[in-house]
Structure 1
């Protein structure tokens, strides 16, 4: 199904920021500055991205194209497969680790699978970032500045965008409601996602805007940390023989519902998705204990 793209906001959010919402699939963000527009992610298809940019132009009453800088937060398909829509408008920036993911054959394989499943992906052409960086990158928009901060853990290439003048963190997938998913079952990725939570929390943001779950609450950072803390504590107290049992994510006291309260109205597909995220997180936590 092709999601309908709409503009959205949150109570108290600065009007220079606009949420670009592709249904339940993903949120991107556009920030207007004196010098340029900053687009954080391009949605899942070029058509969706073009629709979002048309809505932005109408929203601000633009009569001409403004300078555009695009940020690829990470190389997951729902965030960057719209890149072709911004080609020629300005640079696309990503963390250096994103280039490895972009050139991995797995990305092309995912595209072929998606194109076989849904007609809306037929026009997707993979477009690489133009500029990459390591560590932190700062952009000056005149009235607003942006700090691009590497926050691995969910993926190796993930970055967040910090706007200090507004105390806004565009957290994308580094923070997620109800839970994020760690990249792999390696202990290093588990440590990385926890370190990224701490780095975001240290910003003391007034808004922490996620790409999924429609959340802007800074308290979600602590909630995500508590989830991983609880997971670690429960795994640490369990017998090793029990941890070796199959389907531990469905066992009593280890299911997602034992760590996070999900709303009753959550649809089954979304619930199943986050149960899969929990399965990965639990497996990583168990492996970290066994490897210790």
Structure 2
């Protein structure tokens, strides 16, 4: 698969922020401050990350660079090897647990078997970790790294208060985000993270998928989970036990959110699986 990397922005977005878009796969973000530059996520391969750095050119070299790994999902950190040793890499402490889990290398083996582009990937973890939240003080801009679990245990969002921009990564997504597991606790964490992001009152909320920047996406995600909870609450035990419940009329993905026109069948299938996980977690919460 040949993925094109490009630099782009959104209307009205501060010009110190650049969206680094790897096709339809994922967006990372480059932020310039007076003291240093920050790259939030390194894309899915070292080659993609290096292409992004080449496109950024002198603005990626005129001052020190700090890399932030938002979480240890492959499309967000497998490009780390392109910048390892050249810049410090920061992540939440829970990222180390995910990196050490055997499933991390298993995912790499599976994807390398499927696509040659992943065979050059070397798993490189963070140099610096933190718990809770931490702050990067860049002079004109300060980047608050906020632990926002639920999508994954290690997930962080980035809040830039001076320009009211939230880089929400995968905690917010269009059409829906995915909860980490079918466990009710993970669902509560994701909904709590969405509320925390909403309460920032950001002017721009920028996820890593969906090519959107409107704060309304947060409200839409919260409304989806609320509607899902209400619908589950109206079902009886026999209905709740149906393994095909997510495909039943009234409980399908498209019954909760409008799917974008022209969305590829493969992408729809992906979000249907996300919806199934969200539904099962909602059922678990209902039973509690």
Specify the SS of the correspondent of 1:24: coil
The equivalent of 1:159 in structure 2 is 156
Contact map agreement 1:5 1:20 (CA 8 A) in 2: yes
Of 240, 243, 261, which aligns to 1:264?
Answer: 261
CA–CA distance in structure 2, aligned partners of residues 263 and 186 of structure 1: 29
The equivalent of 2:79 in structure 1 is 82
* 1:205-254 C-alpha deviation (Å, 9 max, x unpaired): 00000100001000110100000000000001111111111210000110
RMSD: 1.0
Instruction: List gaps (5 residues or longer) in structure 1.
Output: none
TM-score by length of structure 1 reads 0.97
The equivalent of 2:168 in structure 1 is 171
Contact map agreement 1:42 1:72 (CA 8 A) in 2: yes
The equivalent of 2:133 in structure 1 is 136
Ranges of 4+ aligned residues in structure 1 off by more than 6 Å: none
How far residue 2 of structure 1 moved from its aligned partner, in angstroms, is 2.7
How far residue 66 of structure 1 moved from its aligned partner, in angstroms, is 2.8
The equivalent of 2:177 in structure 1 is 180
Specify the SS of the correspondent of 1:228: helix
Instruction: List gaps (5 residues or longer) in structure 2.
Output: none
* 1:251-278 C-alpha deviation (Å, 9 max, x unpaired): 0110001100112311101111111100
**Residue 209, structure 1, aligned to residue 211, structure 2:** no
How far residue 114 of structure 1 moved from its aligned partner, in angstroms, is 0.8
Contact map agreement 1:67 1:89 (CA 8 A) in 2: no
Specify the SS of the correspondent of 2:145: strand
TM-score by length of structure 2 reads 0.98
CA–CA distance in structure 2, aligned partners of residues 264 and 86 of structure 1: 37
How far residue 65 of structure 1 moved from its aligned partner, in angstroms, is 5.0
